[in-house]
Structure 1
Amino acid sequence: MRKTLLSILTASAVLFSSAGVLARDVGEDMETIAKHYSVVLKTDDAAKMKDALQQMRVAAVDAHRGTPPKLEKQDHDSPDMKDYRHGMDLLIGQIDGALKLVDEGKITEARAAAEEFKTTRNTYHKKYR
């Protein structure tokens, strides 16, 4: 009985700790995106760039599911929430495009594509930050 209880408690701890990692708030996701974005813009190493872009993508997908503080009182289907999610979709698509370029060995082109993330960031930060 004691071993079963210990197993259940251990499994619960793992589940709850991993759920906490996956359920970050939008602000934490944006910090993660910004941190890895600076790596993308500075590195010439394809592996580092790919890893940074992948980390950005994970954070962007998580942020897409979230709600920025400015919109917390709005309905999930409000026009502003739809626009916020559209902006995250744009960013995710841009990240995917840069990842494809890295996979093709086009580091300079991937960095140039990543420069375009700034326009998306600036547009949506003005609205929802």
Structure 2
Amino acid sequence: MLPAIFLLLACQLAGEAIHRLTGLALPGSVIGMVLLLGWLALVRRETPRLVAVTGWLTAHLAVMFVPAAVGLIDEGPVLSRYGAALLSATLVSTVMTIVVTALVFRWALVRFVAVDPDAPSPTAKQGSSEEAAR
């Protein structure tokens, strides 16, 4: 378990170092995820160990929000000045994400699932089988 945790932390640290040294517009954590993806593509034996660690991290995800929430306390003046704008931007982006996800899902259903327009719907099949049973 420790080697998998070390791998996660090493990728994040390397991503942060690359971000600071190069000044890329990507956050260090995103660069670290790309590095981790590349590592997993090269070294397939890491996957089972990472599954156990990421399962544990996901199960205890709520604990990881505590430092971020405590960090917000230090930003009281900024939040009082820009809080309404931040809240509205968060709400608008959440709604937009839900709408775009739904539209992409509908597009993917039409594009990748072969649907026969002449085939009866599942409810029609159910109704006809009930009539046949009578």
Q: Assess same fold via TM > 0.5.
A: no
Name the TM-score, length of structure 2 as normaliser. Answer: 0.28
Name the TM-score, length of structure 1 as normaliser. Answer: 0.29
Query: Based on CA coordinates, which of the two structures has the bigger radius of gyration?
Result: 2
